[in-house]
Amino acid sequence: MNNIIEKITIFSGINKFGQTENFDKIDIKKGQIVSIVGPTGAGKSQLLYDIEKLTQGDTVSKRKIFINDQKPKREWRSDPRFKLIAYLAQSMNFLTDMSVENFLKLHIKARGKNLSEDIISKIIENTNNITGEPITRDMNLLNLSGGQTRALMVADVAFISDSPIILIDEIENAGIKKEHAIDILINEGKIVFLVTHDPALALKADKRLVIKSGGIILVIETSVKEKGISYYLNWVDNFNLKIREDIRQGKIIDEVKIFCQPYDKDNFGENK
């Protein structure tokens, strides 16, 4: 499935006042990030809903979603076995009483993939690269924190799920290394739609959709300068995460060391 989705297209609909959106169509290609921004209540969640349902003018927005320049196949809209789209919500909690390892094994089998030690180890490793609270394979799902749960699901979606399109709602509220989480998904060739209020994430995207009154009012291609600003903001965020973890571990924070250490672009926030 992941290999056959090269592009998703959003065709214009209407806003809350019945006015036509100010664009014809928006093309998003495999491996791209689209940030969705706007004030609370503007209609960002409606756009995610339209994409998730591969709407054909049958929602309140009247938008249409095409895959590879064609109407999506009927089974892509109605048959859960295809799972074209994965959705990571703001708040995620497991309700199943089982270990992390058993959950991963179950999902791997459900996807019809070959069970291997390598893929489980890869998921655990990438989960722990995203969250500041490491998990182990024998931990019970019910005992995971919100950040651990979100990190595990990001890695699960990246390495087990065949869903080529990922919808993420405010990943910045999960208490995880958000930039690294997005990078994992993009490196696996996913198309990522990201609702966010975080300027670092908004500017990291290839383009951003600005929503107001239920309609998309602007489609902005991210400039090189904006990418640079995002790069810097993400460095600051990750440095803050490192200091927060040092404080949690009871370490003494050396003010001189913090502000005088050399900048290392390959290890954001790492104390030398």
Sequence ranges of the domains in the chain: 7-222, 224-272
- pLDDT band, residue 29 (cuts 50/70/90): very high
Predicted pLDDT at 255 = 61
CA–CA dist 56, 142 (Å, integer) = 38
Q: Which position has the higher pLDDT, 182 or 44?
A: 44
Can you tell me the mean pLDDT for 39-67? 94
Can you tell me the mean pLDDT for 144-168? 86
- pLDDT band, residue 137 (cuts 50/70/90): very high
Range 2-7, long-range pairs (CB < 8 A, 24+ positions): 2/162, 2/163, 2/164, 2/188, 2/189, 2/190, 4/68, 5/30, 5/67, 5/68, 5/84, 5/164, 5/165, 5/191, 6/30, 6/68, 7/67, 7/68, 7/69
Q: Is the pLDDT of residue 11 over 90?
A: yes
Q: Is the pLDDT of residue 107 over 70?
A: yes
Can you tell me the mean pLDDT for 220-238? 90
Can you tell me the mean pLDDT for 229-253? 84
Report the range out of 185-194, 209-218, 256-265 with the highest average pLDDT.
Answer: 209-218
Q: Is residue 152 within 8 Å of 128, Cβ to Cβ?
A: no
Q: Is the pLDDT of residue 237 over 90?
A: no
The least confident of 36-45, 223-232, 234-243 is 234-243
Predicted pLDDT at 21 = 95
Q: Is the pLDDT of residue 170 over 70?
A: yes
Q: What is the CATH number of domain 7-222?
A: 3.40.50.300
Q: In what order do the strands lie in the sheet with 85-88?
A: 85-88, 165-169, 191-195, 33-37, 207-212, 215-221
- pLDDT band, residue 212 (cuts 50/70/90): very high
Predicted pLDDT at 68 = 93
